[in-house]
């Protein structure tokens, strides 16, 4: 859907620019000639109101001239710098909640054209721990947001709800890293998340330089039978191929991620999530001011405490 908006925005901007350019090159000289002729006949300099009355600019051209600069700025910012995204599900809890609106830094993982997503300039690659937005490999029309847990060459195991990582050996002359468990620590916090009526277990975890929190549902059994199967590895083990990444949701038992459909190609990356700029609450609590007859998409409040950087 986001790609559809990018295409529409690009096409509308181009059309508005072409209309403005046609008017400036073809129509405006004739209008100026008419005004100059009348001023010569009357020996009087016309003000702006009189000029508009004598040689009016077409409404379509006037509208295109007024909106093109705005559309052009929005297109440049949205295509190459920052784009807003809305978190639609609970797969990234507790880091991000459904109803959070995040700014995604588009130039973190390369500068791409807005129509065909061809890389124009390489600016960086994802690191372990980054929260990335990417085109869903199964359906590129859909944008996903997950955490990058493994980069090209890494070996990763997710067994008994525990994450193991063996970083890629980048220098064959040195001692290569060994498989290690990604340790997690129990978090005792006031905010408790539930799956139905069961409290979720909340842990802190560190991937590379990033420390973040995850949720585990103790009532959900491991879903190894549904995992994506990579040739030559165990059912719960993967080796990330070159040019690909392994992404998982922080809400580990409620996330459709690389465990189930495979790796994220580099060319599918959209950008890095950096900042929560708005967070809307949609749950209808007992103290909610929203009447029951209003649709579910009407927010019941703003979660001001959630605004800020994401990890």
Active-site residue, from 6, 91, 255, 258 = 91
Nearest residue to 242 via CA among 131, 151, 133, 140: 151
Environment class of 30 (CB within 10 Å of its CB; exposed 0-12, middle 13-18, buried 19+) = exposed
- DSSP letter, residue 229: P
Catalytic residue chosen out of the listed positions 79, 106, 135, 146: 146
> Nearest 5°: phi and psi at 100?
-75, 145
Q: What is the dihedral of CA 190, 194, 200, 206, to 10 degrees?
A: -70
Is the bond preceding 94 in cis, omega lying within 30 degrees of 0? yes
Give the pair of three-digit tokens for residue 125: 């690659």
146 is catalytic: yes
DSSP-assigned letter for residue 240: P
- Phi then psi dihedrals of residue 159, to 5 deg: -130, 130
* Burial class of residue 153 (count of CB atoms within 10 Å of its CB; 0-12, 13-18, 19+): middle
Active site positions, annotated: 91, 146
């Amino acid at each position: 859907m986001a790609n559809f908006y990018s295409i529409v925005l690009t096409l509308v901007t181009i059309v508005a620019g072409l209309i403005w350019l046609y008017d400036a090159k073809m129509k405006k000289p004739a209008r100026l000639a008419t005004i100059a002729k009348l001023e010569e006949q009357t020996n009087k300099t016309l003000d702006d109101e009189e000029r508009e009355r004598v040689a009016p600019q077409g409404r379509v051209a006037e509208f295109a001239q007024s909106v093109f600069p705005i559309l052009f700025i929005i297109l440049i910012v949205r295509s190459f710098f920052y784009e807003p995204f809305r978190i639609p599900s609970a797969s990234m809890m507790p880091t991000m909640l459904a109803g959070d609106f995040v700014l995604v830094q588009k130039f973190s993982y390369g500068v791409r054209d807005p129509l065909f997503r061809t890389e124009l300039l390489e600016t960086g690659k994802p690191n372990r721990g980054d929260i990335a937005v990417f085109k869903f490999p199964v359906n590129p029309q859909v944008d996903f947001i997950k955490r990058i847990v493994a980069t090209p060459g890494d070996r990763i195991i997710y067994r008994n709800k525990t994450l193991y990582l063996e970083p890629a050996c980048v220098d064959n002359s040195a001692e290569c890293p060994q498989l290690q468990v990604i340790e997690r620590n129990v978090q005792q916090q006031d905010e408790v998340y539930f799956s139905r009526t069961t409290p979720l277990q909340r842990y802190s975890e560190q991937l590379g330089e990033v420390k973040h929190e995850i949720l585990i549902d103790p009532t959900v059994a491991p879903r190894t039978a549904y995992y994506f199967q990579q040739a030559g590895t165990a059912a719960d083990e993967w080796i990330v191929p070159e040019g690909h990444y392994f992404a998982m949701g922080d809400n580990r038992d409620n996330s459709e991620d690389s465990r189930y459909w495979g790796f994220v190609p580099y060319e599918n990356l959209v950008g890095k999530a950096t900042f929560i700029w708005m967070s809307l609450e949609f749950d209808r609590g007992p103290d909610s001011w929203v009447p029951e007859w209003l649709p579910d998409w009407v927010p019941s409040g703003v979660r001001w405490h959630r605004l800020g950087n994401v990890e």
